Amino acid sequence: MSEQRDDLRDEEAAWPVESSEDLHRDGWVVALRADRVKRPGADDEPAFRRIVLEHPGAVVILAIDDEDRVLCLRQYRHAAQRRFVELPAGLLDVPGEEPVEVARRELREEAAFTAERWTHLLTTYSSPGISSERIATFLAEGLTATDRGDFELKHEEADMETLWVPFDDLLAAVLDGRVADAPVALAVLAHQVRRTGGTP
C-alpha cells in the first residue's frame, strides 16, 4: 500500500457571496437558492451564479446478517423514473442528532431491524457542485428483527419491497451496472475494501 500523504485532503473554503435568492423554500427539509459568487482575488471579474440545493445530510446503512446477506430495499424514485435496489437510509432532519443515532432509527423504521454492532465506513458529499448533501455510511451487524414502533410507511415507502442479497451478488451487480444507486455502490465498495484488508 502506498504511503499516506498528509496534503491529500479536502479543505474548508468559502468564497464571497454578493447576493443570495431563494428559489424554493417551504416546510420540507431541502431548499433551493441562487448565489452570486466572487472568485477570491479576482476583483475585476463579475460575480457568477451558482444554484445550491441545501440539504441537512443523510445516513445509509449496509446491514449484513450472519449469512453475509445484505438487507436491501427496492423503492421507486420519481426524479429518476426507476425502482432502485437501495439500502436503508434517511435524513438528518433532527438538529443535533448524531449520524449513527439516525442510522439506528432508520434501520428500525424502514426495515424493522436493530443491530448490535455499528461501524462507520465513510462519509461523502453526493454532488458538491450543486448540493450540500453529506452522507454518512455505516455497516450494521448482529441484526435482530423488531417492530417499527409508531413509524408508518407512506408514499413511496408504502410500496417498498425488502430483499436479502448475498454480499458477493450485490457487489457483482454494482460492478456490472445492474445496481446503480450511488450510496449502495459506495457502501458496498467501501466494505469490500475493508474486508479484504485494503484500509490502513
Marked catalytic residue, from 12, 152, 157, 161: 157
DSSP 8-class letter at 39: -
Q: How many CA atoms lie within 13 A of 53 on its CB side?
A: 14
159 and 140 belong to one structural domain: yes
Flag whether 74 is in a domain: yes
103 and 179 belong to one structural domain: yes
Q: What does each C-alpha distance from 184 to 51, 141, 150, 174 come to in angstroms?
A: 26, 17, 27, 8
Q: Domains in the chain: how many in total?
A: 2
Flag whether 4 is in a domain: no
104 and 147 belong to one structural domain: yes
Q: Average pLDDT of the chain? A: 91
91 and 166 belong to one structural domain: yes
- pLDDT tens digits, 49-68: 999 999 999 999 999 999 99
Contact indicator for 23, 130 with CB cutoff of 8 Å: no
Look at residue 157 and tell me whether its pLDDT is greater than 70: no
62 and 111 belong to one structural domain: yes
CA separation for the pair 116, 96 (Å, rounded): 23
98 and 172 belong to one structural domain: yes
Flag whether 69 is in a domain: yes
Flag whether 7 is in a domain: no
CA separation for the pair 140, 104 (Å, rounded): 9
70 and 138 belong to one structural domain: yes
pTM of the entire predicted model? 0.89
189 and 122 belong to one structural domain: yes
**Average pLDDT, integer, range 153-180:** 88
The counts of H helices and E strands in the chain are 3, 10
- Tally of CB atoms within 10 A around 186: 20
- pLDDT tens digits, 73-87: 999 888 898 999 999
Q: Please identify, among 9, 27, 54, the residue that sits at the C-terminal boundary of a domain.
A: 54
70 and 31 belong to one structural domain: no
Catalytic annotation on 106? no
102 and 179 belong to one structural domain: yes
